Structure 1
Amino acid sequence: MMVNRLWSKDYIFVCLTTFFMFLNYYYLLVTIPIYLIQDLQGNTAQAGLLVLVFYIAAIAIRPIAGKWIESFGIKKVFLASLILYLGAALMYFFTTSLISLMILRVIHGVGFGMVTTTAGTIVANLIPQNRRGEGMGYYGLMMNMSMALGPFLGLLAINKWGATIMFVVSFGSVIIGTVTGLLISIPKDVRKVQAETRLKKKGLNINELIEMSALRVSLVCFFFALVYSSIVSFVSVYAEELGLTEVASYFFIVYVIALIISRPFTGKWFDQYGANVIIIPSIISFAIGMFLLSQANGAFMFLLSAAFIGLGWGTIFPTVQTIAIAIALPNRRGAATATFYSTMDLGIGIGSLIVGILGAKIGYSSLYFYSSFFALAGLIVYYYLHGRVSRSIRERVRAFELKKAE
């Protein structure tokens, strides 16, 4: 592996695998609630439960998958995860009840947790040390692109062609992701390091799985993930109530356009002025977007809310992730990433269950209205968990980097 080469064959294939697996994830995240309600005569509370069990399975398997990587090697675990994920995508054709769908969502969640853990480990080892930020940035962009395209394709498929074609497209995306995954070659030096690790490590230590330095700022993400769960899981249901079914598929397109346009500026401002200058306006934007969504009575207001939510959550998420990784020691950045993602997934999972129950009782318009004030209260949460120590942490990280460069 060349020291300074980023765009190797294996790096491209792991990025493509991540894109197609996350595409399938976001695709089903917005369509499964509709499928349950329309085809299986379920309700929104049950839809929220389906989201929750998926996330619980994904969160629970991650530390176990990490241990399997140490015990059996990343190549075997990655292959097993691809097969499991592909098998789960195929089984959606045979779900005919809430129980069968719930069992499948658990299996699919396990596959998702394994794929994301192993793919993240592979890409971290493929990226040259002196291009880690750039490499992880492009890798993260694959997730952002799938975040926009997945819901768009999913809503288009189920609204235009029905559940069967929806599952065909879903299965097709996983087939492509599996093929690109099988084309990845794990470098020999990575396999050698893993073999040495397997000889040295024994047992399962909880302190090795959770990075405590990243936990506080990860809890900030957990708080806002509770609010964001109402968007990613139920905005399509809300759009149907408003008679905006045709517009719903464009919600996430507007969302990601706003995110992409703002990303270069927010990234530079973060480097120059620190997290507070970015996070505080983003929280306000997120709250405004939720309020506009609650008041939407037409396509313009509905899509305008998507732009504000994209600027808000779309900036909060990567900024908090950057903080979580930056404040951890270099040898703990993998654990910091796992801590961050698990905390966020837990927030979306719990939030989806709560939103499903409350949405059925008070309606989604009222739910989004109250959520806007809940998001605004996040200013206080952020300040006490991280904002008031942001400057000292930033100075500590800079001092560490300067010392390392000497």
Structure 2
Amino acid sequence: MTKDRLFTPGYICILAANFLFFFGFWLLVPVLPFYLRETYACHTAAIGIILSCYTVSCLCVRPFSGFLMDRFPRKPIYISCYVACMAMFLGYMSDTTLTAFILLRAIHGVAFGGVTVGGNTLCVDIMPSSRRGEGLGYYGLTNNIAMALGPMAGLLLHGQISYNSIFLAGMTASAIGLLCAISVKARTPESLRKPQHPVRNTAGGKRQDDNVTPANRTVRSHGISLDRFILLKGIPVSISLLMLSIPYGATTNFVAMYAREINLDVPTGFFFTLMAAGMGASRLVAGKKVDRGYITQCIRFGYYPVIAAFLLLSLCRQAVSVSPAAATTMFFTVPLLLGTGFGVMFPAMNSLYINLAPNNQRATATSTYLTAWDVGIGIGIVSSGIIAQHFTFYMVYLTGAALCTLSLLFFVHRVTPHYNRNKLR
């Protein structure tokens, strides 16, 4: 049987737009802690709090962006937010005070929330449902490639050129990505389509919509309720995802500082490259497994390398004093484990949320998924800065391993039965 076509022009454009958008994002992630310390003399705890304002503003807008994109055409909102993100780089190049920087990061977070929800939902809209897991895997792979190149490029440029030049590079990538985003031909969201099969009785007494499945049935009430902003059936899995993303946020934002703290002389930009390589390889396999129905199995499998990675990262502090070579090997094994674990889980998690929602709440499901992720990352950034200020980053990653273990137990005993009872497809 011939497979439905996945790589259409629209799908290719959304992949390119996503890659360039996240390249600009990842270019700044490992550089901004140094920027705040060198430009504004911020201490570690303050850096964590300042950087978290981006995540906080992002998660505040996500539920509303999901609601808006289910009620109105998605593409105009997506493009508007994309333009706002690009404009923020100009703001970074012109700001002169720490207050201005914090304000710009908060605005950037709001726009980022809209772009990520819109891009993910548009991607789901334009791909065939029979290849959704695979399609989401490739879509996430563009983020992984950006993660491989962006942080490495940012850390290589740090110290070689000015911060304003780094900001300009991020803005240029976003501008090219915007052109790709504009080229995407979006379909009309199902929530905006007029019902194709009105309810009426046939000669046999059977209603014409009796064959409509739960997944295809749309909610026709125009009232506003909590479930239009948050996918209520996705709350259990959101708890697991939140605990999982806390140490992830601590790693992506502070791993370069951790290596410097324990006197490990390694190219930390390569850490992100290896993590992206692990994610890319595992996503390609996991996406096809998800399409075959192995959603909860993929998520459960992904937990094990992630837990091992955070535990190993915490032990680098002790290893470096015994054998720097062994510590270096351990340090670079961590991103491969993280990439493999998260690469397996991401497309499965995304599909899990989509399967819990009717088609007219697709953007709401996506925003709930990303909101849970952002909440955890925000907590991870703030808490890791505070813990590192009073203890060391060793304790941050040891705590992360414990949180991921707790998340696994909750997923197995609470989330999986809930999903099997409530999935729509």
What TM-score bracket applies, with the shorter chain setting the length? 0.7 to 0.9
Task: Please say if 1:387 is aligned against 2:412.
Answer: yes
Q: Deviations over 1:99-144 (max 9, x none)?
A: 1110000111111111112222322221123332332222122122
Instruction: Give runs of aligned pairs for residues 74-153 of structure 1, distance below 5 A.
Output: 74-153=74-153
Shift of 1:391: 6.3
Stretches of structure 1 that go unaligned for 5 or more consecutive residues are 402-406
- Give the Cα separation in 2 of the matches to 1:72 and 1:283: 38
Residue 218 of structure 1 is aligned with which of 214, 225, 238? 238
SS in 2 for 1:303: helix
Alpha carbons 1:283, 1:376 under 8 Å: kept:
no
SS in 1 for 2:29: helix
Instruction: Give the letter aligned to residue 260 of structure 2.
Output: E
Task: Please say if 1:256 is aligned against 2:276.
Answer: yes
Aligned to 2:254: 234
Alpha carbons 1:73, 1:195 under 8 Å: kept:
no
Q: Deviations over 1:15-55 (max 9, x none)?
A: 11111112222222221111111222112222212222111
Alpha carbons 1:321, 1:340 under 8 Å: kept:
yes
Aligned to 1:285: 308
- Give the Cα separation in 2 of the matches to 1:397 and 1:366: 38
Aligned to 1:44: 44
Aligned to 2:297: 274
Relative to its length, the structure with more helix (as a share) is 1
- Report which stretch shifted further, 273-282 or 22-31: 273-282
- Report which stretch shifted further, 276-285 or 44-53: 276-285
Distance 1:358 1:192, change over 3 A: closer
Shift of 1:344: 0.9
Aligned to 1:30: 30
Alpha carbons 2:63, 2:368 under 8 Å: kept:
no
Distance 1:296 1:48, change over 3 A: farther
Give the TM-score, by structure 1 length: 0.84
Residue 340 of structure 2 is aligned with which of 301, 311, 318? 311
- Give the Cα separation in 1 of the matches to 2:101 and 2:340: 34
Q: Deviations over 1:249-290 (max 9, x none)?
A: 101112222333444565677756925751452343233333
Instruction: Give the letter aligned to residue 381 of structure 2.
Output: S
Distance 1:308 1:8, change over 3 A: closer
Residue 375 of structure 1 is aligned with which of 380, 401, 412? 401
Aligned to 1:356: 385
Alpha carbons 2:45, 2:382 under 8 Å: kept:
yes
Distance 1:139 1:246, change over 3 A: same
Aligned to 1:404: none
Instruction: Give runs of aligned pairs for residues 177-196 of structure 1, distance below 5 A.
Output: 177-187=177-187, 190=188, 194=192
Q: Deviations over 1:334-363 (max 9, x none)?
A: 433221210110110111011112212212
- Give the Cα separation in 1 of the matches to 2:136 and 2:72: 26
Distance 1:277 1:4, change over 3 A: closer
Instruction: Give the letter aligned to residue 19 of structure 1.
Output: F
Alpha carbons 2:236, 2:414 under 8 Å: kept:
no
Identity %: 26
Shift of 1:90: 1.5
Aligned to 1:155: 155
Question: How many residue pairs are counted as aligned between the two chains?
Answer: 391
- Root mean square deviation of aligned Cα: 3.1
- Give the Cα separation in 1 of the matches to 2:362 and 2:100: 38
Alpha carbons 2:87, 2:171 under 8 Å: kept:
no
SS in 2 for 1:138: helix
Aligned to 1:345: 374
Give the TM-score, by structure 2 length: 0.81
- Give the Cα separation in 2 of the matches to 1:388 and 1:345: 24
Shift of 1:307: 2.4
Alpha carbons 2:245, 2:376 under 8 Å: kept:
yes
Shift of 1:308: 2.9
- Give the Cα separation in 1 of the matches to 2:362 and 2:122: 14
SS in 2 for 1:30: coil
Instruction: Give the letter aligned to residue 305 of structure 2.
Output: S
- Give the Cα separation in 1 of the matches to 2:230 and 2:382: 25
**Structure of greater Rg:** 2
Instruction: Give the letter aligned to residue 239 of structure 1.
Output: A
